[in-house]
Chains A and B, each alone.
Chain A
Amino acid sequence: MSSTMSKRSLLKMAGWASLAATAALVGCGKKDEAAAPAASAASEPASAAAAAPAGPLKIAFAYVGPVGDAGWTFAHNAGRLAVEKEFGDKVKTTFVEKVPEGPEAERVIRDLVGQGNTLIFGTTFGYMEPMLKVAADSPAVKFEHGTGYKTAPNMRTYDSRTYEGAYMAGVIAGGMSKSGVIGVVGSIPIPEVIRNINTFTLGAQSVNPKIKTKVVWVNSWFDPPKETEGAQSLLNQGADVLFQNTDSPAVLQTAEKAGKYAFGWDSDMTMFGPKAHLASAIINWAPYYIKATKDALDGTWSTGSVWWGVKEGAIDIVSISDKVPAELKTKVETIKAGLKDGSFVIWKGPILGQDGKEVLAKDAVADDKFLGGIKFYVKGVDGAVPSGN
């Protein structure tokens, strides 16, 4: 009996060992992409010695989604690659993908500090509190938090004016909708997303004042099947142009299948729905990531809050479809030029709230504080803003 027992436990141990090996294989979501350049930098220390005596500047990125999401995280990673290209062996970048928002993020960010990174980018709203905590404990490390609103002496926030892209997409949607109903698949009801829904609607109304916007929330940044369901539901309810503030191309794909229109978001998504795709509102993080890296390398880094848009080359609308009439295209180009030179302002009164009351008086221009705290829908958006934020 005892001999069978020991044999059994041996087998069990073998099983556990193979399991552990599997887990170790898949558990490593971390990638050291710039390991080779780092080594070569160490062998010739003279060139970089003045700026960074301890070798290359170690930069880490924490991503909320997979790099392969073809949207939000994909765009951030393109920014990271641009930093590598710009600074070569003066920097060493690493990233961790699929870091959930919340307490888990704190552990990952602490880990990145422990690995000797001195510039850390957190690329989603939900890393704000964890990053603040880690920043307080690591004064020598510079933190860059994306899309948040809290800062610290060593933590700067940065964001892009995604609503400018939403506005230009809205202009196209307003011109292309036949039913007069457009739909938005919303992710998580935070001011940024509500602002995008509103601005998309304002853009559409600039072409067709009677347009209505329907909104469904999936309460997730990345859930392709649910995004599909939300998009399908909007189509079922009569929307013929869709827009999304979620991270995958599922909404565009659903419109493609149904023979309706939609947009790409964060990255150029033309290929996911060549027939349905009207344009992609993209974010280009490269200019900011290069600037932040330069600040850190030059020793000119300081805290603050940075919000870049079309003007700084951070936001653009690209791959406008041939189905969009020339007249509408020209309108979009004019708006883009206006945003670039500052002659055109999107959030300028009069703007009415859902109930018809003025939220922005005639000729008043919304400042960033106003834009950062939008928790209401403008006139023309159906439904209630989800509470609790």
Chain B
Amino acid sequence: MTGLTADSLALLIAATLNAGTVLALASLGLLINERAGVLNLGAEGMMLVAAIAGYATGVQTGSDTLAFAAGAAAGAAMAALFGVLVIWLNTNQYATGLALSLFGAGLSAFVGITYTQQRLPERPHFDIPVLADLPFVGPAFFRHHPLVYLTVLFAIGLTWFLLRSRGGLILRAVGESPESAHALGYSVRPIRLLAVMVGGALCGLAGAYISLVYTPLWVEGMVAGKGWIALALTTFATWRPARVLLGAYLFGGVTMLQFQLQGQGVQIPSQWLTMLPYLATIVVLVLISRNPMWIRINMPASLGKPFHPGA
């Protein structure tokens, strides 16, 4: 008895898209700055600061758009701080990223003290007219927050940008061989900073999505490790947007599925089921990326390495 009716399958798909969006957004952001050769381990901190910035703005203004803009801006600002430290002052990227993560956790907790007791104003449901009323596909695909669709569009756009556009080529050049890009006359440091800030803005959107849409409330530390999962996902997806998307939905889907199994009383210890999303995502992504050639081609060659113009 699986109990998986069409209705519950639709709900499962809906929950999967919702859960995957947070990871996909953050992961795509990290992918951009890693493609430029900068590893930012501060994702968790950026997401937390963005979550409280978005939530606070939402509470004060009642505007969804402003709230998300504030989240993205907060993420970008945090990333800019990190960027200046690692790109111009050449601090160690790993240590600086970890510090950013701690700093973000502390800062968000401090700023957020009063917001734990406040609620977001009532907001409308996001149903796409007509399509949302279709049986099965309606509840599964067409009753989501706009950001869910924008994330998919963005992933497609990013693939095109990275592989087909001049800008993408420059970005990759900066991440592969900054010396060559520099020799060709590109300003490696500003380009890296821009990539880091775009990455931060996307992590910020992901953080704001958590506090505004996913779990609409503010409690300290509410991102609860999603930033770290996003970092791992970027690597396991070998820095390719489509795979990031696949991995994110897979992770979200298996998370929801294992809860479904638990609820139905499947005789597997819940600890194993809780591990399942991580295992499944790693196994699938490792399998599709097992070609060592592919990894070498896709991994930015200068990832994590500082660049000194004139050296």
Residue in A22, A186, A237 whose beta carbon sits within 8 Å of that of B264 in the complex: A237
Contact residues in B for A386 (Cβ distance below 8 Å): 269-271
Contact residues in A for B311 (Cβ distance below 8 Å): 4
Q: Quick one: which of A58-113 are within 8 Å of B by CB?
A: 65-70, 98
Task: Tell me if B214 counts as interface (CB < 8 A to partner A).
Answer: yes
Is the Cβ of A236 less than 8 Å from the Cβ of B12?
yes
Task: Tell me if B35 counts as interface (CB < 8 A to partner A).
Answer: no
Is the Cβ of B222 less than 8 Å from the Cβ of A225?
yes
Task: Tell me if A382 counts as interface (CB < 8 A to partner B).
Answer: yes
A353 to B105 CA separation, bound complex (whole angstroms): 44
Task: Tell me if A272 counts as interface (CB < 8 A to partner B).
Answer: yes
Total contacting residues, chain A, CB less than 8 A: 60
A222 to B89 CA separation, bound complex (whole angstroms): 37
Main secondary structure of the interface of B (DSSP, over half): helix
Contact residues in B for A183 (Cβ distance below 8 Å): 263
Task: Tell me if B102 counts as interface (CB < 8 A to partner A).
Answer: yes
Is the Cβ of A257 less than 8 Å from the Cβ of B216?
yes
Task: Tell me if B99 counts as interface (CB < 8 A to partner A).
Answer: yes
Task: Tell me if A303 counts as interface (CB < 8 A to partner B).
Answer: no
**Number of A-B residue pairs having CB atoms within 8 Å of each other in the complex:** 168
Residue in chain A with minimal CB distance to B84: A15
Is the Cβ of A237 less than 8 Å from the Cβ of B90?
no
Is the Cβ of A19 less than 8 Å from the Cβ of B96?
yes
A29 to B103 CA separation, bound complex (whole angstroms): 12
Tell me how far the C-beta of A293 lies from the nearest C-beta in chain B, rounded to whole angstroms. Answer: 26
> Which segment of B157-165, B180-188, B252-260, B294-302 sits at the interface?
B252-260
A233 to B107 CA separation, bound complex (whole angstroms): 32
Residue in A11, A69, A229, A384 whose beta carbon sits within 8 Å of that of B267 in the complex: A384
> Which segment of B55-63, B112-120, B127-135, B191-199 sits at the interface?
B112-120
Q: Which one of B219, B260, B266, B311 has the greatest number of beta carbons of chain A within 10 Å?
A: B219
A272 to B215 CA separation, bound complex (whole angstroms): 11
Is the Cβ of B269 less than 8 Å from the Cβ of A387?
yes
A25 to B99 CA separation, bound complex (whole angstroms): 11
Residue in chain B with minimal CB distance to A189: B270
Residue in chain A with minimal CB distance to B257: A233
Assuming A271-B117, A383-B262, what are 6 further A-B pairs, CB within 8 angstroms? A4-B311, A19-B99, A219-B270, A222-B221, A225-B223, A233-B260
7 A-B pairs closest in CB distance:
A15-B91, A26-B106, A383-B265, A233-B259, A66-B220, A15-B89, A217-B270
Chosen A-B contacts, 12 in total, with CB atoms closer than 8 Å, are: A25-B106, A70-B116, A219-B270, A220-B224, A225-B214, A225-B215, A225-B223, A225-B226, A228-B215, A229-B256, A229-B259, A272-B217
